[in-house]
Chains A and B, each alone.
Chain A
Amino acid sequence: MKYLDLAMNAAETLGAEYADIRIQKTTDQVIYLQNLSLKHTSDNTMQGYGIRVFKDGAWGFAHSNVFSDEAVLATVKKAFDIATLSAAVNKDKKLRLAPERSYLSTYKTPVKIDPFSVPVSEKIDLMMEVSRTMLAYEGIKRTIFLLMMHKDEKLFASTLGTRLDLTTQFINPMITAVAVTESDSQSRTFDEGGRATGWEWILELDLIDKAKQIAEEALMKVKAETLGPEERRSLVLDPNHLGLTMHESVGHATELDRVLGWEADYAGVSFATPEKLNNYHYGSELINFVGDNTLEGGLATLGFDDDGVPSQKWYIIKDGILKEYGSTRDTALEIGLNASRGCNRATYYFNQPINRIPNLYLLPGTKPLTPGELIADTEDGVYIQGRGSYSIDHHRINFQFGGDFFWEIKNGKLIRPLKKVIYKSCNPEFWNSCDAICDKRFWRPFGVVNCGKGQPPQTGRMTHGSSTARFRNIRVGGSQ
């Protein structure tokens, strides 16, 4: 596209040390069904471009949705001017960009059936059938089916000479049943998070069967007992629960911008500071976290990040020891890294990219172990599935999590369903308490599509994953 060269030439002529342009078209289709009322069925398209100029150790970022030579040149000038204003403030401490080479490349999310090509009527028919299935259960008063389809088409150019053509997409079905009695209401949700794939995933999921399961479990949950006072117990955590726990307590804690204090005003900082690299026991020896933006189906598998840095795979925690962070070109040099790990991502064209969690997952255990065997080996504990209440402090140390469905474990057996269970723990206690992880046969991904961060706020996406794992001696009890 001619605007790529036009913008980069203009930025260089003005005196930019580095500049890039990201022309981005984002298409969303969102269908929201509440009971049998279609509350929202919408196709949304946002297209425009964002131009970053780096000059004298400072950024300027300007965006526009007007596609003309004049508008592009005016946007470059605006970015350059505000970079100049920023540079005057940064004269004592300049930002620096990690070196990177140029790339000419394309990337496309592998998709067999493009969700946008599936007729809306087919999607709605499926959703209505799922909702009717749940509403057929007496006691289910409210059902929700949210189906999101998202596609980003990006053209990226930088003054390094990089030219990228990237098309990435994901799909995310989420189904909730709410059971109500005279004294309580409880929900149960089918939520695997989003996945970077096509409609074929929806066809593989037996959503009618899932609907029956969550409706029945919502009814079971609303009638379930509470756990009682807080005690130290074992926790057996399902992958679609652990996804959020690792997101909050490892993912955000190992974003290098937080570590550097760049999010101090809003999203917070991190306890996992650079002097802890290569010596801090973040977890037990079983704990291996990998940053992997090459993961098949991963929501952060995008080919390249918005710095023009290719996707990579690296250890963040190895054998329990903190090894590295997720980094960007403007954070990497701050702690002496040679290059960025490619974690700079923006949500829409009008967002300046920020340091994001990569696809981050817990490697499975190396010895054969099934979830059934793990539960059979647990004397007193709680098995938690799905995500519920979650809250963590702004240093990413102390946290409290709920869940979506709970079973009490006694003497190796699931003896009764529970509700309103919460657990409290902190870093590094929690990950050091892990004493068993099921093997790779039970590893499952969990996609997060709504990771809020930044000012102005952006919604990021990434995939986590794990096998079912056990954590010993955690404070677990009923709420209040």
Chain B
Amino acid sequence: MNSDKIVQYIQKHCIADDWTLNITKDDSHETRFAQNVITQHIAGAMKEISLSVAFGSKVGSCTVNQDDDESLAYIIKTAEEIAKLAPEDPEFVPSTGKMNIPEIANCDPQTKSLEPKQLVDIVQNSINRAKTYGATVSGLTEKHIETNGLFTKNGFAGEYEKSDFGHSLTLKKDEVETKVAYEAKEYAAFNLETLLEKLFTQAATLAVKQTFEPQKIAVLLRPLALQELFWFMGWMMDRRYADEGITPFTDQIGKPFFGEKFSWFSTCKQPTLLAPPFTSDGIIAEEIPWVEKGILKNLSTSRYWAKKMGSKPSVNYNMFIPGEGYSEEEMLTMVPRGLIINSFWYIRSVDVKAGEFTGTTRNGVWYFEDGKIKYAINNLRFNEIPQEATKRIIATGSSELANPISLLPAMLIDNFNFVDKTSF
């Protein structure tokens, strides 16, 4: 059953005062390989139909993955029964009405047309090259085509399609471990040879490691490391949590809470960035400055909190951090010594109110001095407050796509707080 027919069924049979219908479809192919062998290989299509209904401000929901009449009757009946039993919700907000939905090219036809054989060939070629290099590779090659639809009793009707192609490669050779990855909505910009060359270059520079003690030191965070660190902070950038005094952002809107070299936007205007045109509850994607030249401009705001506070609902749907355009080589000369960080791992909050996080480095750390990379070092653990770290930004590179929703530069930050080291 297509989405129109599902919507028509709900319109005809749902007697609730209000309803919101989400329809998600996903057609995917995933090939996992490890140590030069394919270990998992998955293909299939899925569908999920979620209905949320309201009688007055009493709300109930139900989700199924079948779209026959019996299943649709079931979700209506179940959601309505739950709603009737629920207490009045003091924070109820009616469903979104008709909106102008921005047209954004989120689905790439070339990605959509990729066949399983093409994906397996990418794996085969990667393994062959790794064998020639005397190494093993592990990774994931994947393709997803996802459709998201939102329909409400109050007139919102929208559906969009998005594509995703990814190929990751973790190399292991003796004690060397490092990783490269490509993930984007567009397959067209993927070049396996470029990716492999980057992998082998990284691996070669990691062959000899020296022990390095944890300390405060300048770091050049490559785009993926920066994305991993700031995305966690982004989860905390919620207006209600700030207004209720839970996070460090309380009473900080309009103030220089970040360093002046730091800006962060969500945008529909960067063609390589994925930008879902609306959220599952109908918040429309707009150009939003979250931080502009260090000033906290906005925090994600739910529809309920926006209504209560008299502001506009907003959601952090992608990450665009503009850069100054310095090359990595130029940035290495800007501090006497420091570390290059490829990526982070297992970042978790340590102190919610302070906005402090911990995590470790992964996939390559290099010590540099006098503008030159000297040697690779062991991995390190950090405890750091990202917004404070932005006040120590020395320079930034050019924005690069780190993943489908993140376009950001490498960043040179002084006095990054490393507190422990690993044995490898």
Which residues of chain B are near A42, meaning CB under 8 Å? 50, 52, 60-63, 79, 82
Instruction: Judge if A473 is at the interface, Cβ distance under 8 Å.
Output: no
Inter-chain contact B346/A142, CB cutoff 8 Å: no
Please tell me if the beta carbons of A86 and B87 are within 8 angstroms of each other in the complex.
no
Closest chain A residue, CB of each to CB of B170: A265
Segment touching B, from A44-52, A209-217, A279-287? A44-52
Question: Which chain B residues have a beta carbon within 8 Å of chain A's beta carbons?
Answer: 28, 30-48, 50, 52, 59-66, 78-79, 81-82, 85-87, 89-91, 116-117, 120, 123-124, 127, 136, 138-140, 142, 168-170, 172, 177, 179, 244-247, 345-354, 356, 358-360, 362, 379, 381, 383, 385, 417, 419-424
Within 8 A of B (CB), among A119-149: 119-121, 124, 128, 141-142
Shortest Cβ distance from residue B241 to the other chain A in the assembled complex, whole angstroms: 9
Q: Is the CB of A141 within 8 A of B360?
A: no
Q: Do A64 and B45 touch (CB < 8 A)?
A: yes
- Which among A86, A141, A268, A354 is the interface contact of B31 at CB below 8 angstroms? A86
List 6 contacting pairs A-B, 8 Å CB cutoff, sorted by A. Answer: A42-B61, A45-B63, A82-B41, A124-B86, A398-B379, A398-B422
For residue B34, give the distance in angstroms from its CB to the closest CB of chain A.
4
**Chain A positions within 8 Å of B36 at CB level:** 92-93
A43:B78 contact, CB within 8 angstroms: yes
Q: Do A389 and B348 form a contact, CB below 8 Å, given A264-B34, A455-B30?
A: yes
Q: In this assembly, does A6 line the interface, its C-beta being within 8 Å of a C-beta of chain B?
A: no
Knowing that A64-B45, A180-B244, A264-B170 touch, tell me 9 more A-B residue pairs with CB under 8 angstroms.
Answer: A44-B64, A61-B40, A61-B43, A64-B44, A78-B44, A89-B120, A264-B172, A398-B379, A480-B351
Whether A195 sits at the interface, judged by CB under 8 Å, is no
> Across the interface, which residues of B come within 8 angstroms of A124, CB to CB?
85-87
A304 near B: Cβ within 8 Å?
no
A63 at the interface (CB under 8 A from B): yes
Q: Which of B245, B347, B381 has the most CB of A within 10 A?
A: B245
Compute how far the CA of A294 lies from the CA of B162 in the bound complex, rounded to whole angstroms: 44
Closest A residue to B169 using CB positions: A265
Q: Is the CB of B40 within 8 A of A352?
A: yes
Task: Check A275 for interface membership: any CB of B closer than 8 A.
Answer: no
Flag if B350 contacts A264 (CB, 8 Å).
Answer: no
Question: Do A262 and B43 touch across chains, with their CB atoms under 8 A apart?
Answer: no
Q: Roughly how many angstroms separate A261 CA and B33 CA in the complex, as a whole number?
A: 10
Nearest residue (CB) in A for B78 is: A43
Q: Is A479 an interface residue (CB 8 A)?
A: yes
How many whole Å from B166's CB to the nearest CB in chain A? Answer: 9
Task: Tell me if A41 is interfacial: C-beta within 8 Å of chain B.
Answer: yes
Contact B346 A392 (CB under 8 A): yes
Contact in complex: B245, A43 (CB < 8 Å): no
Question: How many angstroms from the CA of A455 to the CA of B138 in the assembled complex?
Answer: 12
**Pairwise interchain contact A48-B82, C-beta atoms closer than 8 A:** no
Interface hits, A317-374 → B, CB 8 Å: 330, 350, 352, 354
B19 to chain A, nearest CB (A): 14
List, in ascending order, chain A residues with CB within 8 A of B169's CB.
265
* With contact pairs A36-B90, A391-B358 given, residues A44 and B39 touching in the complex (Cβ less than 8 Å): no
Note all chain B residues with C-beta closer than 8 A to A62: 42-44
CA A46 to CA B87, docked complex, whole Å: 27
Residues on B with beta carbons closer than 8 Å to the beta carbon of A426: 422-423
Contact of B90 among A37, A183, A389 (CB under 8 A): A37
Q: Which residues of B contact A264 (CB under 8 A)?
A: 34-35, 138, 170, 172, 177
Residue of B whose beta carbon sits closest to that of A419: B351
Query: Is there an interface contact between B39 and A95, defined as CB atoms closer than 8 Å?
Result: yes
For the side of the interface on A, what is the size category?
35 or more
**When A47-B66, A89-B124 are in contact, do A479 and B41 touch as well, CB less than 8 Å?**
no
Q: Are B63 and A265 closer than 8 Å at their CB atoms?
A: no
User: Do the beta carbons of A90 and B37 come within 8 Å of each other?
Assistant: yes
Asked if residues B41 and A86 are in contact (CB atoms below 8 Å), the reply is yes
Q: Which secondary structure characterizes the binding site on chain B?
A: strand
Q: Which of B31, B177, B359 contacts A391 (CB 8 A)?
A: B359
Q: What are the residues of chain B within 8 A of A40 when measuring CB–CB?
A: 61
Once bound together, how far apart are the Cα atoms of A480 and B389, in whole Å? 13
Instruction: Please pick, from B39, B347, B383, the residue contacting A479 in the complex, using a CB distance under 8 A.
Output: B383
Question: Hey, which chain B residues are within 8 Å of A82, CB to CB?
Answer: 41-43, 116
Query: Closest residue to A46 on the B side, CB-wise?
Result: B65
CB of A394 within 8 A of chain B?
yes
CB distance from B151 to the nearest CB of A (A): 18
How far is it, in angstroms, between the C-alpha of A124 and the C-alpha of B422 when the chains are bound? 47
The reply to whether B85 and A120 form a contact with Cβ atoms under 8 Å apart is: yes
Lowest 7 CB-CB distances: which A-B pairs, in order?
Answer: A63-B44, A42-B61, A44-B63, A37-B91, A264-B138, A262-B34, A86-B38
Could you tell me the distance between the alpha carbons of A302 and B106 in the complex, rounded to whole angstroms?
41
How many Å from the CB of B30 to the closest CB on chain A?
6
A50, B421: Cα distance in complex, Å: 43
Assess whether A299 is interfacial by the CB under 8 Å rule. no
| A16 proximal to B (CB < 8 A) | no
A441 → chain B closest CB, angstroms: 33
**B232 CB, min distance to chain A CBs, angstroms:** 11
Interface centre among A58, A265, A390 (most CB of B within 10 A): A265
Could you tell me the distance between the alpha carbons of A16 and B121 in the complex, rounded to whole angstroms? 22
B204 to chain A, nearest CB (A): 19
**Chain B CB within 8 A of A402 CB:** yes
In the bound complex, residues from chain A placing their C-beta under 8 Å from that of B417 are 480
From A94, A395, A397, A479, contact of B356 by CB (8 A): A479
Q: Which residue of A lies closest to B422 (CB)?
A: A398
Question: Would you call A184 an interface residue if the criterion is a C-beta within 8 Å of the partner chain's C-beta atoms?
Answer: yes
CB pair B116–A393 under 8 Å, yes or no, is no
Nearest CB of chain B from residue A472's CB, rounded to whole Å: 19
- Provide the bound-state CA to CA distance between A94 and B417, in Å: 45
- The CB with the most chain A CB atoms within 10 A, among B41, B50, B52, is that of B41
A136 to chain B, nearest CB (A): 17
- A41-B82, A88-B120, A389-B348 are contacts. A352–B42 as well, Cβ < 8 Å? yes
Set B245, B356, B379, B424: member contacting A480, Cβ < 8 A: B356
Q: Decide if B352 touches A185 in the complex (CB within 8 Å).
A: yes
Q: Across the interface, do A41 and B61 meet the contact criterion of CB distance under 8 Å?
A: yes
Q: How far is the CB of B267 from chain A (nearest CB, A)?
A: 27
> A61–B42 contact, CB under 8 A?
yes
A120-B85, A266-B140, A391-B346 as given contacts; A43 in contact with B40, CB under 8 Å: no
A14 beta carbon closer than 8 Å to chain B:
no
